[in-house]
């Protein structure tokens, strides 16, 4: 193992605390990750040394803050290997990135009768924007299903592709099932039909090494706060040819070039999509988070998290009454489960009292939860600062919940 977990844990102040007189065990990383001291320090440094509104300022601080912001863009470009910094748009999160594309793509390319394909395993943030855009433009949203393991039904997806298909929008990794979708295969197939593909990378980018040029995806969206960076930060990657053609999303601020009484011209990429004062301190934190991850190495992170996932799967499988939701061959670092007929909230409350944070409920994926015909799941999602000893504690907490609730 190439990661020094003890040393890594020392970087995360929040993990040092006790709750209910027990050491905090944080298994809600798919909802949001904790922040290393390096990220917290970057935000502090920004406010103590650089704080100012960016772009168009001639004075010292404004130039410094602008440089830091644009340096961050270069580093994010490199992190996901985009071709150009023009293709990196800063947003406030995956949800905003996805809404941006759904709204502008709809206006530019979608006509009545056209179709968009998505999947049953999407988070609401990559489902509702497409659903609403299709309703507004009298287009049809087609939804590919899954098999019993929670893997995408590729035959069904292939069968949905037609001359009417204008876009395929799907998640890289499911936030409920943990399934890693065969996105390379889907992108290659879509491109044979000249159909662009958007990937919701909210759960992908923190666990897998992402190279957007190698994937050849047309759009890739993610949130900073699931990537050890501050809340209110996010990224939209889009191929330049699409970003050039799409209309602006919001109006005002740096996205403006010239304003006349009767019309306005818009700035070039990437500023065309960055209206208003951005989250500059958040982006400083995002830059520090990416540097931290690159220091650890995404391959090392993926290997260690895979070890945690296998360990947890084996240990929880041995508990009588535990049922998994999502047993795909390719999974990222989370497990969704139920214990007998115990409601996920009840189980979650007892597990919490043992000092362990897990998430319960529908995980913002109601179409999937309805499809599974369950009220929700308990979800334990792992990060590189978690340990097998913590998973042993989760096993004890599950046994306790089962004992108390049955």
Footprint on this chain of ligand PLP (rule: CB under 6 A): 93-95, 123, 125-126, 171, 175, 200, 202-203, 223, 225, 364
CA trace torsion 206, 208, 212, 215 (10° rounding): -150
Catalytic annotation present for 364: yes
Angle of the 128-136 helix axis to the 94-109 helix axis, nearest 10: 20
Provide the minimum distance between the beta carbon of 52 and ligand PLP in the complex, in angstroms, as a whole number: 27
With b meaning 16 or more CB within 10 Å and e meaning fewer, what string describes 53-79? ebbeeeeeebebbbebbeebbebbbeb
The span from the CA of 342 to the CA of 338, in Å, is: 7
Provide the minimum distance between the beta carbon of 221 and ligand PLP in the complex, in angstroms, as a whole number: 8
Provide the minimum distance between the beta carbon of 141 and ligand PLP in the complex, in angstroms, as a whole number: 17
Phi, psi dihedral angles at 316 (to 5 degrees): -75, -30
36 versus 178: smaller Cβ distance to ligand PLP: 178
73 versus 225: smaller Cβ distance to ligand PLP: 225
Provide the minimum distance between the beta carbon of 181 and ligand PLP in the complex, in angstroms, as a whole number: 11
Phi, psi dihedral angles at 365 (to 5 degrees): -140, 60
212 versus 364: smaller Cβ distance to ligand PLP: 364
Provide the minimum distance between the beta carbon of 364 and ligand PLP in the complex, in angstroms, as a whole number: 6
Catalytic residue selected from 134, 217, 221, 364: 364
Neighbours of 10 (CB within 10 A): 14
User: What DSSP string runs through 317-356?
Assistant: HTSTTEEEE---SSB-SEEEEEETT--HHHHHHHHHHTTE
CA trace torsion 109, 115, 119, 125 (10° rounding): 40
- By C-alpha distance, which of 388, 304, 375, 305 is closest to 336? 375
Which residues have C-beta within 8 Å of that of residue 58, sequence separation ≥ 6?
none
79 versus 397: smaller Cβ distance to ligand PLP: 79
Q: Where are the alpha helices (DSSP H) in 180-237?
A: 183-192, 212-215
Catalytic residues: 364
């Amino acid at each position: 193992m190439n990661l020094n977990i003890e040393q890594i844990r020392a970087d995360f102040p929040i993990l040092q605390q006790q709750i209910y007189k027990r050491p905090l065990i944080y298994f809600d990383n798919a909802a949001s990750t904790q922040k290393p001291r390096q990220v917290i320090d970057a935000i502090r440094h920004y406010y103590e040394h650089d704080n100012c509104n960016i772009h168009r300022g001639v004075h010292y601080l404004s130039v410094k803050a602008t440089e830091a912001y644009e340096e961050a863009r270069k580093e994010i470009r490199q992190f996901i290997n985009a071709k150009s910094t023009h293709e990196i748009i800063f947003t406030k999160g995956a949800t905003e990135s996805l809404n941006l594309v759904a709204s502008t793509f709809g206006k530019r390319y979608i006509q009545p009768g056209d179709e968009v394909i998505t999947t049953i395993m999407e988070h609401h943030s990559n489902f509702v924007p497409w659903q609403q855009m299709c309703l507004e433009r009298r287009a049809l949203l087609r939804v590919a299903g899954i098999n019993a393991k929670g893997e995408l039904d590729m035959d069904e997806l292939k069968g949905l592709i037609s001359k009417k298909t204008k876009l395929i929008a799907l998640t890289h990794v499911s936030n409920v099932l943990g399934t890693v979708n065969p996105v390379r295969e889907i992108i290659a197939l879509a491109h044979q039909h000249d159909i662009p593909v958007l990937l919701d990378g909210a759960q992908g980018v923190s666990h897998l090494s992402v190279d957007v040029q190698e994937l050849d995806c047309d759009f890739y969206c993610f949130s900073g706060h699931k990537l050890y960076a501050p809340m209110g930060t996010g990224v939209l990657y889009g191929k330049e040819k699409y970003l050039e053609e799409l209309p602006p999303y919001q109006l005002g601020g740096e996205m403006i070039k010239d304003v006349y009484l009767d019309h306005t011209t818009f700035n070039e990429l990437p500023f065309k999509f960055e209206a208003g004062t951005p989250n500059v301190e958040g982006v400083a934190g995002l830059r520090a988070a990416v540097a931290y991850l690159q220091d650890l190495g995404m391959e090392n992170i993926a290997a260690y998290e895979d070890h945690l996932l296998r360990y947890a799967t084996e240990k929880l499988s041995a508990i009588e009454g535990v049922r998994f939701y999502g047993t795909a061959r390719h999974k990222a670092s989370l497990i969704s489960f139920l214990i007998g007929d115990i409601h996920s909230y009840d189980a979650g409350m007892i597990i919490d009292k043992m000092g362990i944070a897990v998430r319960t409920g529908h995980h913002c994926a109601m179409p999937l939860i309805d499809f599974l015909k369950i009220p929700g799941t308990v979800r334990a999602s792992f990060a590189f600062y978690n340990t097998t000893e913590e998973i042993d504690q989760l096993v004890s907490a599950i046994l306790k919940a089962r004992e108390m609730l049955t």
